[in-house]
Amino acid sequence: MRPAKKTPQHSVDISEEDGVRNLHFGSDWIQGAMRIARPWSLELAYTREMMAGLLLRPLQHWPRSALLIGLGAGSLAKFIYRYLPDCRITVVEINPQVEFIARQFFKLPDDPRRLDVVIGCGADYMLGGDRRFDLILVDGYDPDAKAGVLDTEPFYQACRARLGDDGICSVNLLGRNRGFQGSVERIKAAFDGRVAVFPSCDSGNTIAFATGGNPVAVSLDEMRARAEQLKKDTRLNLLPTISRLQLSHPLPDGRLHI
């Protein structure tokens, strides 16, 4: 295992505007956000898209375990904690200051039985253990919007190795910029092509979903039914995501196959 990365030296800043509290890593770029009146909701569009993996498996007993690479404002961790009560959450965050800020200013729960925050390098964590997870969410960037070692084929191979039989890996890719296609190719290589790249959301972020275990073969009707249930239970509305997916992604026999 490689030596752990040093703690980032950039500042961690907070701003507020129109009832929304934002997290910044030494720049104007928003790394996380929370609507103060609805701290459990997913304020940023790309965080909502990252949870679209919930459309790909039956929700009755899945997921039971989630691994988040990158904490940010804790939006994804809080959503899973609140609305998926049977799911145990592990978060790996390289900067201890980010955890402090998330707890003090973004209402990250203090419940180590269900929510375990590990301070360390996400790549080292992935390569240094063998515990498997139902859901892996990768959202780790530096102030320059670079993912570094978290966007390499060995890292994605490690993600695949840490997925359970029904596991889904969700990766936040920062839009269709110059390095976007290279990231997609690395994910495809690690997962033997079993990847679905969803259309970009309003923020420009693009989310890739991958699996290496039991196949995903979900119909549009099944996805809509799950989206309706999620909207009812959590107010998370993924119906527009399904519509964009249908318009932009080839779906043989009306099903998404991964």
194-206, pLDDT tens digit by residue?
Answer: 999 998 877 678 9
Q: Nearest to residue 171, comparing CAs of 148, 145, 140, 149?
A: 140
| Residue bearing the bigger pLDDT, 251 or 207 | 207
Helix (H), strand (E) at residue 233: helix 220-234
Residues 6+ apart with CB under 8 A from 215: 194, 257, 258
Helix (H), strand (E) at residue 92: strand 88-93
| Numbers of helices and strands, H then E, in the chain | 8, 12
Exposure of 250 by Cβ count < 10 A (0-12 exposed, 13-18 middle, 19+ buried)?
Answer: exposed
Please check the confidence at residue 7 and state whether its pLDDT lies above 80: no
| pTM strictly above 0.85 | yes
User: What long-range pairs does 3-7 form, CB within 8 A, spacing at least 24?
Assistant: 4/120, 4/121, 4/124, 5/94, 5/121, 5/123, 5/124, 5/149, 7/94, 7/95, 7/96, 7/97
In angstroms, the CA 258 to CA 187 distance is 13
Residues 6+ apart with CB under 8 A from 115: 77, 81, 89, 91, 108, 109
- Condensed to tens digits (0 to 9), the pLDDT of residues 213-235 reads 999 999 999 999 999 999 999 99
In angstroms, the CA 118 to CA 83 distance is 22
Q: Measured over all CA atoms, what is the biggest interatomic distance in the chain, rounded to whole angstroms? A: 51
- Condensed to tens digits (0 to 9), the pLDDT of residues 18-30 reads 999 998 887 777 8
Rg of the chain on CA atoms, in Å: 17
Which of 124, 134, 139, 166 does the annotation list as catalytic? 139
Q: Which two tokens stand for residue 75?
A: 């939006």
CA–CA distance from 110 to each of 34, 100, 167, 217 (Å)? 17, 11, 26, 37
In angstroms, the CA 244 to CA 200 distance is 9
Q: Nearest to residue 175, comparing CAs of 42, 77, 38, 29?
A: 29
Please check the confidence at residue 237 and state whether its pLDDT lies above 70: yes
> With bands split at pLDDT 50, 70 and 90, how would you rate the model's confidence at 187?
very high
Helix (H), strand (E) at residue 49: helix 45-50
130 is catalytic: no
41-257 is classed CATH 3.40.50.150: yes
Q: Which two tokens stand for residue 29?
A: 């770029």
Cβ 254 vs Cβ 224: under 8 Å: no
- Condensed to tens digits (0 to 9), the pLDDT of residues 82-121 reads 999 999 999 999 999 999 999 999 999 999 999 999 999 9
pLDDT at 2: 41
